[in-house]
Chain A
Amino acid sequence: MNLSLFKSWYSVLALLGIAAAIACSLVAGDIADVRWLRLATGWLAGSSMALALGYVLRKYMHKYGYSPEFKLKVPIAQLERAEMRLNELRGKILTRAVASRAEITAEIKRILSEERVQRVLAVDVKPGPSGGAAFVLEVNKAFLFGRAAKWLHLHLYISIAFAAFVLAHGGRSLGLDFGGALFALSALVVVTGVIGIALWALGPTWLTRRERDLSIEESFVLHQGFQGKLQELRGTLAAEPELAALLDDVMRSGADAPARTKAALQAASQYPEERRRMLEDACVLFGQMRRVEREFRALWRIRLTFMAWRAVHIPAAVLLSAAVLVHVVSVLRY
């Protein structure tokens, strides 16, 4: 089970959101009477939602190559010059020509900015091994805007805070109106999201346990391979329409495949050895393909189980975003 999905400082945001929502309802009574509080919770809800959508935006911008981070790309020559100079610095550290951490850090900063690679590279200064250089330099990518995994944490917890703010914002006036619908949608999005995260925490373990022999990718590739081979054999057998019909019959079979295969092979016994062999091979191949297909389907089912929540979460989130937009525009307009 992947508990790391839940371990994040952003959970404090969610707690703060919930605490704020409870405080509002306790202190202010009916929030409808306290205009500034209503406005504040509204803005807080809106901003939390924008932050939560930030994850989605980041994801698709990276996936399709539109992220502004792609524009930060620097020419390799610049990187190589920087790396060369860092190597020189390593030499100086080894000979104690540069001794203090502060000096080293300042020198690294200078190199990175002079070579204009400070947005691409991050250099960590770590204590060196005993008997070796006093410090070692570890060059990594800058990972400027944070990894997707961190954004997912933000997405999760800020969404919980969002639901709390929406609840506080609606106050006791929540009913079967637009506000109520907004709240219901928010709840749906958050609940499906939380279920999704829980499934993401458990799903990989189920799948991995089941994947002992073949992984989902392997079974897919293998299945494609068998299918191609079978098509090829079917093409060759087409010269003998009756044998081809026997193979088609086997390929249409379900649970009765063993019986039908047996029958087909018996029926083919009158054909020349070479042709019969071909049918036999095709039947064996078909059996193997079915086995791999079963394996793939089983793995796919598990994968679907822990991905199916998205079928509700994503459309509900799209609807919610549209509804929030309408709400904000109408409030500002009227």
Chain B
Amino acid sequence: MEPSPQPPPTAEELELLFQLELFKDLPKKLRDVLVRFRRYTPGIAGTIFIRQGEYTEDFHYVLAGSVSAFRANADGKVELLESLGPHEWFGEVSALSNQPSLATLKADVPCTLLTIDGSTFRVLYKDVTNAKFRERIDKHYRERALIAHMRTIPLFRALSDSDLARIRPHVHFETFAKGKVIAEQDAPVSRVYMVRSGAVGCTRRLRDGKQKIVGYHMNNSSFGERALEKELATWPGTYTALAPTDVLSIEKDAFGLTFGSGSAALNALQQAALELLRADQGQAAAVRGVEDAELSRIAGDDRIEQMVRRQSVKGGEALVIDLQRCVRCNMCVETCVAVHEDRVPRLSKKGSRVSAELNLATSCYNCEIPECMMACGYGAIRRDVEGVIRFVYDNCVGCASCVSACPYGVIRYTPPPGAAPVVPKESFLEQIPWVGQFFRKAAGAAASEAESKSAPVLSARGEKVNGKSIKCDLCAGLPFEGCVYNCPTAAISRQNPAALFESESSRARVVDGAIHDAVHGGPRG
């Protein structure tokens, strides 16, 4: 169910609501937010509230009954993770990280849940005047969900649950604002970081003063493993938050103190760290094996660099135009206009060049970290089960927070009620190529036409969207994506920018290797 402002509560309900341990210290303004967006989710025994792998943002507080969390492992076995009774909660990891759910949550007996949508939850969690709420959530997360979460992080996969439980008290939660530096190049590595949500870029300063992006970390990836691999390691670059980022961190010494040097657990961790560093060769090669001058030489035409700088790699799916194929016929844009009632195109071919032959069109990327969704304070942007970011127009108040938050500037406005459409609708005769102009109305008749344009613009769901935010909806409900379907030269396609980034990273690796071989007379050790 989608969030929307709820009917006012009774005095009795209010009293009960704010007696709950989790909410009792909420300041007045946040109480109002909670009351406005709270809803109650009932369930009979067996009701599944959240499915493993599902994109959901809802946070649930168990008011009555009990709910069990199950996780299906890769081998197909299902394990019971925990059972949650009254005054416990679930869904905070997904609400914070926009990651698919780690487990399936099912009612054991008839239940009643208090449900808050992700954006409301984030407002409560991130408000500095509400430290108690955050503390309680973090404490609960540390006690109940942290181990399950750590198990999904590659670095910790080799550790048993009991080892994870031993290291758990040493885990710190930290939040970095966009642009904040997490670690400085050449400083000693004193912590291992794991990205819980958000994105971190690693930039290396070369000897000639140029900055080069050499790595990129997103949800569930870790950095700083080199602290485990060898003593006195230094950071190979500067790590900066590219979006609001939540990380978990563990002091390097905590591992030795917890497991003891030479222990099987520490060895397993060191082995995992080594493998991660090896697997991450593109970055490792760039930061260890290749001299600055060589790096500088390949830095010129570097697609990764540009994509990371423009944050394109954060996108889930982007519209990519192959400029060697694009005949600039504009059919993609024209079809986009044709499929939308409001006649506002959702894409612009202008976009940003990521290489000599590829252009990322300006159209929604359905980001892994949807900054629009995080910025919306009204729960009007949601991720559906397929990962597509959608608007819930009932909740959209047209405040434009999402417009400024989207790093790619792909959110636009529909004309307000009464205004003429961006691309006016024409009659059939007017649309006939060349001949149509003879049928176009004289300027005098335009006024009556504008009047007819003031009819409400409807979304694919039938909601009125005049004066609200719109973006590419993947031609919702239609059997095609207009732009991709109608390109005569198949120049435009949907691609995962991270995959482009990956393939470029392997290209860079090959280039690195070739340069290294030429300079050092053999493959890198």
Contacts and interface: CB of A to CB of B under 8 A. Distances in A.
Given A1-B324, A120-B479, A149-B490, 10 more contacts: A4-B490, A62-B486, A83-B384, A141-B474, A142-B479, A147-B484, A200-B327, A204-B328, A204-B489, A217-B348
Interface in B310-360: 323-328, 331, 334-335, 338-339, 348-350, 353, 356-357, 359
A81 to B, nearest CB: 10
A161 to B, nearest CB: 20
10 contacts: A4-B325, A4-B490, A63-B486, A72-B478, A91-B53, A120-B477, A132-B74, A147-B485, A148-B487, A221-B350
Interface string A44-71: 0000000000000001101111100110
Interface in A222-259: none
A308 B359 CA distance: 25
A269 interface: no
Given A65-B338, A141-B480, A96 B489 contact: no
A79 interface: yes
Given A64-B431, A95-B76, A148-B488, A75 B477 contact: yes
B461 to A, nearest CB: 5
Contact of B51 (A87, A141, A148, A307): A87
B305 interface: no
B338 A63 contact: yes
B481 interface: yes
B476 interface: yes
Contacts of A84: 385
A332 interface: no
Contacts of B482: 62
A133 B326 CA distance: 38
A73 interface: yes
A143 B481 CA distance: 8
Contacts of A91: 51-53, 72, 104
A141 B327 contact: no
A76 B461 contact: yes
B481 A87 contact: no
A148 B385 contact: no
Contacts of B323: 204, 207-208, 211
A205 B324 contact: yes
A218 to B, nearest CB: 6
A135 B324 CA distance: 35
A4 B489 CA distance: 8
Interface in B465-505: 474-482, 484-491
Given A87-B53, A131-B74, A204-B324, A143 B479 contact: yes
B460 interface: yes
A79 B460 CA distance: 11
B338 to A, nearest CB: 4
A221 B348 CA distance: 12
A96 B92 CA distance: 28
A74 to B, nearest CB: 5
A88 to B, nearest CB: 7
A203 B327 contact: yes
Contacts of A290: none
A26 interface: no
Nearest to A220: B350
B386 interface: yes
Contacts of B474: 141
A216 interface: yes
B320 to A, nearest CB: 14
A141 B478 CA distance: 8
Contact of B489 (A77, A152, A212): A152
B489 A83 contact: no
Contacts of A69: 478-480
A80 interface: yes
B302 interface: no
B328 A207 contact: yes
B446 interface: no
Contacts of B349: 217
B100 to A, nearest CB: 10
Nearest to B353: A215
B486 A148 contact: yes
Contacts of A217: 348-350
A181 interface: no
A218 B350 contact: yes
Interface residues on B, range: 35 or more
B279 to A, nearest CB: 15
A62 B335 contact: yes
Nearest to A143: B480
Contacts of A63: 331, 334-335, 338, 486
Contact of B72 (A94, A143, A144, A216): A94
A205 B428 CA distance: 36
Contacts of B460: 73, 76
A316 to B, nearest CB: 14
Interface in A169-214: 200, 203-205, 207-208, 211-212
A119 interface: yes
B490 A76 contact: no
B489 A144 contact: no
A306 B325 CA distance: 12
A63 to B, nearest CB: 5
Given A203-B327, A306-B327, A87 B489 contact: no
Contact of A149 (B335, B475, B488): B488
B343 to A, nearest CB: 9
B78 interface: yes
B229 interface: no
B54 interface: yes
A276 interface: no
A218 B51 CA distance: 46
Nearest to A118: B479
A139 interface: yes
Contacts of B51: 87-88, 91
Contact of A73 (B325, B331, B384, B478): B478
A80 B383 CA distance: 12
A60 to B, nearest CB: 8
Given A94-B52, A149-B490, A215-B350, A2 B478 contact: no
Interface in A300-334: 303, 306-307
A148 B331 contact: yes
Interface string B382-407: 00111000000000000000000000
Contacts of B478: 69-70, 72-73, 120, 141
Contacts of B54: 87
Contacts of A72: 478-479
Contact of A208 (B76, B331, B356, B386): B356
Given A87-B385, A148-B485, A204-B325, A79 B476 contact: yes
Given A87-B54, A149-B489, A207-B328, A73 B477 contact: yes
Given A76-B477, A204-B325, A139 B487 contact: no
Shortest Cβ-Cβ A-B pairs, 3 listed: A149-B490, A96-B76, A65-B338
Nearest to A87: B385
A38 interface: no
Nearest to A72: B479
A142 to B, nearest CB: 4
A91 B479 CA distance: 26
Contacts of B72: 91, 94-95
- Among A1, A80, A306, the one with the most B-chain Cβ atoms within 10 Å of its Cβ is A80
B489 A200 contact: yes
Contacts of A95: 72, 76, 78
B479 A144 contact: yes
B79 to A, nearest CB: 11
Nearest to A66: B428
A217 B321 CA distance: 14
